[in-house]
Amino acid sequence: MKLLIAYIQPDKLTPLRELLSKLEVFRYSISDGFGHSEEKGFFERYRGVELDVDLMKKIRLEIALNDEYVSKVVDAMLAGGKDGSLGDGKIFVLPIEETYRLSTGESGPVAIG
């Protein structure tokens, strides 16, 4: 079981969700984040004073996947990245030692859902 953490551009969330549903991945979580990277920030000005905004709004995605799904999802996202439909972003894959479903107490791959 792996935990996929992905940072993507906010307006690319909808294309990504469509991609995931095509892969029949229906469980994921997202939260608002800010990212800093080589990406050029915004130039803002407040009452005449320059303001360098170099923290870009990002969507942070967490998808817990069973091993056989991982490469399927990653490859699909990289394809989306290449053809520009998903824009820039980063994916980190971390190991999950155990998963539990609160409502039923199930654990292991079946709890990933």
Which residue ranges make up the site for another protein (CB under 8 A)?
Answer: 11, 13, 30, 34, 42-51, 53, 55, 59
Binding range to ligand ADP, per CB under 6 A, among 16-24, 42-50, 71-79, 83-91: 83-91
Helices 13-22 and 67-82: angle between axes, nearest 10 degrees? 140
Give the number of other CB atoms < 10 A from CB of residue 97: 5
Binding range to ligand ADP, per CB under 6 A, among 10-18, 32-40, 44-52, 68-76: 32-40
3-state secondary structure of 16: helix
Structure tokens at 27: 């469980």
76 binds, among ligand ADP, its own copies, another protein, none (CB under 5 to 8 A by kind): none
When the beta carbons of 42 and 100 are compared against another protein, the nearer one is 42
d(CA 42, CA 4): 29
3-state secondary structure of 48: coil
Asked if 31 interacts with ligand ADP (CB under 6 A), we say no
61 binds, among another protein, ligand ADP, its own copies, none (CB under 5 to 8 A by kind): none
